[in-house]
Chains A and B, each alone.
Chain A
Amino acid sequence: MDTAAVEVVDLVKRYGATTAVTGLTFSARRGSVTALLGPNGAGKTSTIEICEGFRRADGGRVRVLGMDPVADSTALKPRVGVMPQSGGVPTGARAAEWLRLMASFHARPIEPGLLLERLGLNPVATTPFRRLSGGQQQRLSLACAVVGRPELVFLDEPTAGLDPQARMATWDLVAALREAGVAVILTTHHMEEAERLSDHVVIIDRGAVVAEGTPTELTGDRREVYFSTEAPVDTAQLAAALPEGSRVDAQGPSDGRREYVVTAGDRGEPGPEFLATVTAWCASAGVLAEDLRVRRRTLEDVFLEITGRELRDQ
């Protein structure tokens, strides 16, 4: 039982001339939640589909529950639950009947009715798949992934396109799986999701791991000063007023507002004096710093710091 749920070493995957995964290494522990976090096209889905046995690796080593995902697929299939990014259900199949079918493939499944109720799918139990909303389709797909009581589940973007209530229901279910000792590997580009759900976050960019650790390790549990303004602020001037090494990052404008994040750099955390310096400078520059607060650095900040702020093609 001490083998990892998933172990990936130097994984390489090519599609024609493009290399989607370029020597990716990570491992996921049993009974914990691991998030593969990265921008679109980073190689998350390729990686997860190789682990699921859908695609073959062009290089490297992959072990799922200690076994080879392709060669040992017959032994692995009952033990591993899979939620694809979309589809996977005939358009004419009704929600409950499809879940019952998935349950019937397993020796000791969860009663489908309990899962439908938990995921709020009872009202659409007899609705054909094509008439379900995107969120309902996602939740049915999630139910299908867990109905066989697997040891390990792969969830490819489980909350993409979900409304807030459905997202909460999905998060609750992932937490319950973890509680029950199921290993969960999920992909997401939703920072809050990775931060709230995972024990371990693997940040992937351009086909390789660029950082990994617990959310706390990754964010360094550091604080920063945040405020927003109506008019642009001269960030160089503000930085000059602060202790050396401090940084002022401009974000936005979003909704016509500018957002600023001020960090103390490598010198540690912003203290009371640091905050006073920021506000004093604002006063002297005639800037009204709205929404001013000292907050913890989020995974989003780390993510943008590592993967860069430029827009990606995909």
Chain B
Amino acid sequence: MSEYTSTASARAGAATPVAADASLFTPAPGAAPMWRMVASQTGMELRVMLRHGEQFLLTMVIPVLLLVGFSLTSVLDVGEGARVDALTPGVLALAVMSTSFTGLAIGTGFERRYGVLKRLGATPLSRFGLLASKTLAVLGVQAIQAVVLCAVALALGWSPSVTAGGVLAAVALVLLATAAFSSLALLMAGTLRAEATLAGANLVYVLMLGLGGVLFPTSSFPGPLEQAVSALPITALSSGLRTVLAGGSPPGAGAFAVLAVWALVCGLLASRLFRWE
């Protein structure tokens, strides 16, 4: 991708190493174009995320297992209709959260701890470039998750109601939820110790998995609890996706509003409080 220093001069000088070195190290500073920096950083973020064993478990294995397991068995009351139709929107929401919240928080927390963010701060890649790369990498992983989960769901007999407007609404919900979850992730990773972020992110994942209408609609909860959990970003996303994909009707403004407020509040706090080392 980059144009490297003429290797010809370096190799020609192999017999006289000092001269070769001198030309090799002769100062020629300059920043690469922004798009190239963001492209390579995004590639690195993607590879590190996909290679990480625990993250892969969280983002791929668990959602697929939940989808397959609860579609084929009847141990869980998922509500009315075909089991896979009821489960898929919630599992998609869980997948979004696992990448844009849990994975991002833990990854960034440890990068901060190991001085990676600080070191990147000394390169020509700007903070904006780094955030753009992280966002693109998160969206990339989510695209892979969506393809895999939809394929598995279709194989299990999923029959979503697909309309152009519905798909558009679903994508908008996912993007807004990604903004909300990422902001919350960066808020934790940028203010807490790496171990606290690790524990907190996993705890929040489990709580949201249990309470957030991922596996069954929150309408089965007692009234006050249903009210409370409806303010969670995961509930807004899973119920919004369920309305669109299972019901075929447009999601209520409430889901968008809940996600927008989370994104705004956490985004503001993260930009104020985030510490790079």
Contacts and interface: CB of A to CB of B under 8 A. Distances in A.
Nearest to B4: A111
A109 interface: yes
B25 A176 contact: yes
Interface in A78-110: 78-80, 82, 84, 86-93, 97-98, 100-110
Contacts of A146: 25
B220 interface: no
Contacts of B36: 104
Contacts of A179: 18, 21-22, 25
13 contacts: A78-B124, A80-B122, A93-B48, A107-B31, A108-B29, A111-B4, A114-B7, A144-B119, A149-B5, A150-B27, A179-B18, A180-B23, A182-B25
B26 A109 contact: no
B29 A78 contact: yes
B22 A106 contact: no
Given A78-B29, A111-B5, 12 more contacts: A77-B124, A89-B119, A90-B110, A98-B44, A100-B40, A101-B44, A104-B2, A106-B31, A107-B28, A108-B5, A114-B24, A149-B5
Central interface residue in A86, A92, A179, by most chain B CB within 10 Å: A92
Interface in A41-80: 52-54, 74, 77-80
Contacts of B32: 104-107
| 4 residue pairs, one from A and one from B, having the closest CB atoms | A107-B30, A88-B119, A176-B21, A180-B25
B52 interface: yes
Given A114-B10, A149-B5, A176-B24, A105 B125 contact: yes
A105 B116 CA distance: 15
B24 A87 contact: no
Given A108-B30, A110-B25, A149-B25, A91 B4 contact: no
A100 B30 CA distance: 16
Contacts of A102: 123
B2 A89 contact: no
A150 B124 CA distance: 12
B41 interface: yes
B121 interface: yes
A151 interface: yes
A97 B5 contact: no
A297 to B, nearest CB: 30
Contact of B124 (A106, A110, A114): A106
B116 A90 contact: yes
A148 interface: yes
A36 interface: no
Contacts of A108: 3, 5, 28-30
Contact of B41 (A92, A101, A111, A180): A101
Contact of A101 (B40, B121, B277): B40
Contacts of A151: 27, 29
B37 interface: yes
B272 interface: no
A87 B116 contact: yes
Interface of A: 52-54, 74, 77-80, 82, 84, 86-93, 97-98, 100-112, 114, 144, 146, 148-151, 173, 176-177, 179-182
B124 A105 contact: yes
Contact of A88 (B24, B118, B124): B118
A85 to B, nearest CB: 9
A89 B25 contact: no
A149 B27 contact: yes
B274 interface: no
Nearest to A130: B114
Given A97-B47, A109-B4, A110-B4, A77 B123 contact: yes
Contacts of A182: 25, 27
A90 to B, nearest CB: 5
Of the four ranges (under 10, 10 to 19, 20 to 34, 35 or more), the interface on chain B belongs to: 35 or more
Nearest to A86: B115
A84 B110 contact: no
A84 B27 contact: no
A149 B26 contact: yes
Contacts of A181: 26-27
B123 A105 contact: yes
B2 A92 contact: no
Nearest to A146: B25
B1 A88 contact: no
B1 A84 contact: no
Central interface residue in A79, A108, A148, by most chain B CB within 10 Å: A108
B122 A82 contact: yes
A80 B125 CA distance: 13
A267 B241 CA distance: 90
B111 interface: yes
Contacts of B30: 78, 106-108
B29 A105 contact: no
B52 A92 contact: yes
A150 B26 contact: no
B126 interface: yes
Contacts of A54: 118, 121-122, 277
Contacts of B47: 93, 97
B40 A88 contact: no
Contacts of A180: 21-27
Interface string B103-114: 000000011001
A236 B25 CA distance: 54
B171 to A, nearest CB: 30
